[in-house]
Amino acid sequence: MRIHSSDHSWLLLAVLVILLSFSGALSSNDKEKEKEKKTTSVDKKKEVTYDGTSLIINGNRELLYSGSIHYPRSTPEMWPNIIKRAKQGGLNTIQTYVFWNVHEPEQGKFNFSGRSDLVKFIKLIEKNGMYVTLRLGPFIQAEWTHGGLPYWLREVPGIFFRTDNEPFKEHTEKYVRVILDMMKKENLFASQGGPIILGQIENEYSAVQRAYKEDGLKYIKWASKLVHSMDLGIPWVMCKQNDAPDPMINACNGRHCGDTFPGPNKDNKPSLWTENWTTQFRVFGDPPTQRSVEDIAFSVARFFSKNGSHVNYYMYHGGTNFGRTSAHYVTTRYYDDAPLDEYGLEKEPKYGHLKHLHNALNLCKKALLWGQPRVERPSNETEIRYYEQPGTKVCAAFLANNNTESAENIKFKGKEYVIPPRSISILPDCKTIVYNTAEVMTNSKSCSKSIKEKIKGDSYVPVELYGLTKDETDYGWYTTSFKIDDSDLSKRKGGKPTLRIASLGHALHVWLNGEYLGNGHGSHEEKSFVFQKPVSLKEGENHLAMLGVLTGFPDSGSYMEHRYTGPRSVSILGLSSGPLDLTEQNKWGNKVGMEGERLGIHAEEGLKKVKWQKLSGKEPGLTWYQTYFDAPESQSAAAIRMNGMGKGLIWVNGEGVGRYWMSFLSPLGQPTQVEYHIPRSFLKPKKNLLVIFEEEPNVKPELIDFVIINRDTVCSFIGENYTPSVRHWTRKNDQVQAITDDVQLTAKLKCSGTKKISAVEFASFGNPNGTCGNFTLGTCNAPVSKQVVEKYCLGKAQCAIPVNKSTFQQDKKDSCPKVAKKLAVQVKCGRDKKN
């Protein structure tokens, strides 16, 4: 049911391993300028309301195409280009979480500098003429350590997270007011003329609400009342919260909200999609994962065809989990298959195909926002959804084919259309197809000195690892000594005794009498594991040392404040006197972190605090490596490839690049992540300090290298029956019109920056196979394909190749007339020598 409101209200590694103020009266001219400034500010104020159709901003209904970009996951130097590319991709809104543990790492001490400069980030979005959705938390999940909640919160007496608990609500309210008061002070809300049009409190609370019973419902009502009581002049949402209390808008998260979302819980609320997952985040041990752009486009078109007016791509730019910020087991690279990759570069075909989708939906805007919806179902596999304004020419249609194997013919308003398998064609005038979700026209390819740790301990029990480390390090030591009688060894039968350590996660390294026994770890799905190994014991005192290793704090679920990890039981099995339990019967030493961390040797100031040794070739575990390198002359994005290494941490010039884990292989026998992003802002032209802490022994740091990230291989793959690009069309006087007289299907290739097409690496008009970087000839191919593409493209920054038989079959002979032709092209971009 639709209800309109009347209220419009990127060198190999050589290893040694102001604001000025003044006093005085303002001149009359200054006063006039000040008056003008105030007047302009008032004029910019925007009222944001909503009804059953859409958000209404300053009296105008809007279709909102939003993308999640998280400011701590990139650098301030990267933000302008990322935001600019997002806008060029057709977005008009940026969504971000606010990260409580980033801003208040210590209770009462706030940080809003560098990558934490939220105000600067929002003002850059505003400068680009875009809106902002602010997802406040307090809990955000986001595959971020502790779900964004600061560690110190765990140690507040009597606290239970995310429920009707006074200590939690007290600290949450203080945090919320700090953030929102800051936004208000900076005039960033739409009601003040700023870009923030929408807020979100809490996050996917329905996933844990049952665990808290009535206290969960009370908490949700309290959170809603808190933000609405501040009267900030914007609507608020709760995602995946179907019982969101009025006037809170309930919103959808997922891959196919057009089918899974039950809709707003009141007729006067719009259908909003707060998270459309553009890929699957990855954890160490995962194989590569992708979500096709065809599926994303299909889901968005379907949502808008069913009264949706807002979609947010989570993530549009995933970025990097710098330092130790990722949640447990989550990789340092985040959502790299998003439309903008980890380096902020366009990821094709996802970026381009979604850009064209936004263009097509904009052509339908008037009909979607003001027309009356109608539905026809010609068959079990097909569906027509269209919007018309009676008495006008305003009309837009979405023709859907749900058949996943074959095309379907759909007859609509006297004309027949062929719709490819599992796709939606968009007709912004109910006559002309300008876009199909399955017809993807773009593609591209991006193509030591060491010191050893000393083991110390000064406590007595193997304490829980989260509480031991307090999110200040990934490492916690557990040491103990135990005596073995001669009778335990001489009288036993069979093999050696066995050391058994049961751990709740995440990883563990073990030494016995100074000998490294090995390591073990859990996984994202199963954190707990058992380390078990036959050992050689000696008569008398034996010394056991364990290094518990975190890969981040948990980021989801109920009762997070009561999650525990680390060793939970230690025993010796196979002794003649029976099992020896070391867990509670022994005194334990505990130590937080590595000595190198305490001395700060990851940064220039700490290097001189230790004596460095030359690399011997077979280093033990827990070794620090350092070297210097010069930055590449290219300004392209840079990354370090951790070939030959095991598991540890990386710093460049004191900046934490992140965790790496090369020894945790996916089912395909490969590391989940090999390249680790080094932002340009981390680098100096010369003598950059690289420091690596490696947990595992016998690694090969000489295999580490650096790579430049570019997008110099550009491809296109288009079928001759595809719809010409939506860029050929515009809307004028309520009619869809061609921008040019000659609307034809073309394969468009474009190099980045000042680069030009320097080589055609593959071209085939026929039935080629494969994907960009892996194209192969099929059984049908026009012999002149490469020559034609070279004619149109060589030496040019961009080119458009007509995709039709007359272009490629110049002798008018078709060796395979029954084959529907496709054009696959792969070119190489480069700079002229003078450039």
What confidence tens digit (pLDDT) does each residue in 567-602 have? 999 999 999 889 999 998 888 999 999 999 999 999
Considering only residues 723 and 248, tell me which one the structure prediction assigns the higher pLDDT.
248
Distance CA 243, CA 206 (A): 9
Percent of the chain surpassing pLDDT 70: 91
CA distances from 822 to 435, 644, 779, 780, 781 (A): 18, 42, 12, 10, 9
Residue type for 527, please?
Answer: K
Distance CA 36, CA 493 (A): 94
Phi and psi at residue 792, to the nearest 5°: -80, -30
Q: Which of 95-99, 709-713, 764-768 has the lowest mean pLDDT?
A: 709-713
Give residue-wise pLDDT tens across range 667-708: 999 999 999 999 999 999 999 999 999 999 999 999 999 999
Let me know: does 776 contact 769? Beta carbons within 8 Å: yes
3-state DSSP call for residue 623?
strand
Res. 38 pLDDT band, cuts 50 70 90: very low
Active-site amino acid positions = 204, 275
Res. 738 pLDDT band, cuts 50 70 90: confident
Let me know: does 47 contact 191? Beta carbons within 8 Å: yes
- Span 47-64, average pLDDT: 97
Let me know: does 387 contact 375? Beta carbons within 8 Å: no
What's the pLDDT score for residue 342? 97
- Decide if pLDDT at 535 tops 80: yes
- The mean pLDDT value of the chain amounts to 91
Q: What is the 3-state secondary structure (H, E, C) of 533-598?
A: EECCCCCEEEEEEEEEECCCCCCCCCCHHHCCCCEEEEEEECCCCCCEECCCCCCEEEEECCHHHH
Model pTM above 0.85: yes
Let me know: does 238 contact 220? Beta carbons within 8 Å: yes
> DSSP character for 437?
T
Distance CA 140, CA 135 (A): 8
What's the pLDDT score for residue 19? 26
Instruction: List Cβ neighbours of 317 (8 Å cut-off, separation of 6 or more).
Output: 67, 68, 69, 73, 74, 82, 86, 335, 338, 339, 340, 341, 344
Q: What is the 3-state secondary structure (H, E, C) of 719-780?
A: ECCCCCCHHHEEEECCEEEECCCCCCCEEEEECCCCCEEEEEEEEEEECCECCCCCCECCCC
What's the pLDDT score for residue 660? 98
Distance CA 447, CA 443 (A): 12
CA distances from 583 to 62, 522, 580 (A): 62, 20, 9
Return the structure tokens found at 741: 């007289």
Return the structure tokens found at 573: 């099995």
Distance CA 275, CA 256 (A): 10
What's the pLDDT score for residue 6? 38
Distance CA 376, CA 273 (A): 24
Q: Which of 217-226, 353-362, 458-467 has the lowest mean pLDDT?
A: 458-467
What's the pLDDT score for residue 99? 98
CB atoms within 10 A of CB 252: 26
From start to end of 62-138, where are the E strands?
A: 64-69, 93-97, 131-135
Give residue-wise pLDDT tens across range 504-520: 999 999 999 999 999 99
CB atoms within 10 A of CB 110: 15
